[in-house]
Amino acid sequence: MSPEKIISLQNPRIKNLVKLRDRRPRDEQGVFLLEGYRAISRAVEKGAELRELYFAPEWFLGKNETSLIKTIGENGVNLFELAKHTFAKVAYRDRPEGLLAVASQWKTHFADLHLPETPLLLVVEAIEKPGNMGMILRSADAAGVDAVIVCDPVTDLFNPNVVRSSTGVLFSVPVVIESTKNVIAYLETNKIRSVATTPSADSLYSDTDLNGPLALIMGSEQFGLSDTWLAQATDKVRIPMAGQADSLNVAMATIVTLFEAVRQRTLS
Amino acid sequence: MSPEKIISLQNPRIKNLVKLRDRRPRDEQGVFLLEGYRAISRAVEKGAELRELYFAPEWFLGKNETSLIKTIGENGVNLFELAKHTFAKVAYRDRPEGLLAVASQWKTHFADLHLPETPLLLVVEAIEKPGNMGMILRSADAAGVDAVIVCDPVTDLFNPNVVRSSTGVLFSVPVVIESTKNVIAYLETNKIRSVATTPSADSLYSDTDLNGPLALIMGSEQFGLSDTWLAQATDKVRIPMAGQADSLNVAMATIVTLFEAVRQRTLS
């Protein structure tokens, strides 16, 4: 089947692609955007469900685009070939690579998680910056976290900048979005200890036992941990800080704490 | 002394401010740009040398701008008040805050460093992305690194995005820019052990002794460590990786390794 060709900027599909940069239409349609060779091929590799693929050969950077498009087309995804200027209109990245996909959103619930006997979870509160969320997801992937739990999120997971900065990890690390209340109940039911990182703690993160079933709790960029989590956490720990108070942002504090947990948990 | 008022976009000072977004005119004039309340007040706090301050009250977000301007003016810095649209032209950030300063560049040489008996240094090779450089500087500050040494840099230290993403740390962490050859000679002369982080190493970073006079060596984003450093390093270590190979970027790998060094060095 030969792909439909779209030239007109007035084409309703083109108008919709531009709309999908905003959260509400994304959520209403249950989809999100993936741009560029790397993001789309990662999504395919990891079994994400693509609905539509738009491409414009005049923007291609390499030689692999054609075979990726072929694979995607063989999976039954609708293909659309765009004129160069039409693609420029729908691309949200500065340097278009001629590939834009519409993929289905998904939702992971606690019931979907299959945790090992001694799980390592990462709970993050109300993260605002897409770049931080992307880095947190990458850190979780690198550290082998069993699930990331996002409490009361401000940034949505399918924001194009989260998708991009997560470099494909979004498709493999289970992410549960839940209210703080439900997360607390889940940890209690599953007897998972919670360790919260906060600058006001007395104990150093590296002096605290991070073995066993564990959830690391990280606050938001602007407000730190909420009172609820400060009261709820089994332990509170801090990262030692030699320089100015705000040198570590939430994503940096997350990776430091996560890798200390990994270190302790793999000690023979 | 009342500040000079500038309205015309043709004013040579305005034209020069726009030029200073590029590296060559910055380097030729030995200056760089600082934008926004936070960056400029940090610079003043830390004793950076400002040459000119441009402000536009119509863009002010808060109430502290006026006293900051007064302080800077009292230090003998030339003040210029811009019309709203004139400031919009020179601002490089999306949301102008009505404050833009021109500051003097500086250069730190090995001879300027006053290292303690057991120094902790961070050596980074050819970092390309300003955001990574900013995060590396913040990590170095948080970890109490004695100096950051940049070998053969691609990004210049006074790039507006490095300045911004370093959140003022640029003014306090000593950064030496040198050729790889000179860095190696310096480490040898000062009997500083070098530990390089590379995915191909056999030893885990956390199983390796990171005490004593130490330089951590980190590669570039795209190419990793150069052969020279791979051959030169006293030890090579890797960070364990549970997920996809590229989940940790150079800035993330740097902070993980640095904080393990801090942990080991502060064990009683």
**What tokens does A229 get?**
């989590």
Q: What is the DSSP string of A83-132?
A: -HHHHHHH--SSS--SEEEEEE---B-GGG----SS-EEEEEE----HHH
| Structure confidence by residue, pLDDT tens digits, A113-136 | 999 999 999 999 988 899 999 999
Nearest-Cα distance to chain B for A31, in Å, is 24
Residue A170 touches chain B, beta carbons under 8 Å: no
H-assigned helices in A98-238: 130-143, 160-165, 180-189, 227-232
Q: Is B268's pLDDT higher than 80?
A: no
Q: Which domains does chain B have, with CATH numbers?
A: 4-104 (3.30.1330.30), 110-265 (3.40.1280.10)
Cα A235 from Cα A268, distance rounded (Å)? 24
Report the complex ipTM.
0.92
Closest residue, chain A, to B38 (C-alpha): A246
- A173 CB neighbours in chain B (<8 A) are 243
Instruction: Tell which residue, B225, B215, B198, B202, has the closest CA to residue B258.
Output: B215
| Structure confidence by residue, pLDDT tens digits, A166-195 | 988 999 999 999 999 999 999 999 999 999
Handedness of CA B148, B153, B155, B159 (dihedral sign): positive
CB contact under 8 A, B239 and A142: yes
Helix (H, G, I), strand (E, B) or coil at B89: helix
Q: Is B230 exposed, middle or buried (0-12, 13-18, 19+ CB in 10 A)?
A: middle
In our burial notation (b when 16+ CB lie closer than 10 A, e otherwise), range A232-264 reads bbebbbbbebebbebbbbbbbbbbbbbbbbbbe
Closest by Cβ to B244, choosing from A141, A243, A246? A141
Nearest-Cα distance to chain A for B239, in Å, is 9
CB contact under 8 A, A243 and B167: no
CB contact under 8 A, B141 and A242: yes
pTM of the model: 0.93
Helices A250-265, B250-265: crossing angle, 10 deg rounding: 60
Neighbour tally for A177: CB within 10 Å: 16
Residue A265 touches chain B, beta carbons under 8 Å: no
Would you give the distance in Å from CA B170 to the centre of its chain?
4
Instruction: Tell which residue, B123, B146, B112, has the closest CA to residue B220.
Output: B123
The strand pairing partners of B236, in sequence order, are: B196
Cα B201 from Cα B183, distance rounded (Å)? 22
| Structure confidence by residue, pLDDT tens digits, A193-251 | 999 999 989 999 999 999 999 999 998 877 789 999 999 999 999 999 998 888 899 99
CB contact under 8 A, B244 and A135: no
CB contact under 8 A, B256 and A259: yes
Q: Is B103 exposed, middle or buried (0-12, 13-18, 19+ CB in 10 A)?
A: buried
Q: Report, as an integer, the average pLDDT of A23-37.
A: 96
**What tokens does A200 get?**
């006001």
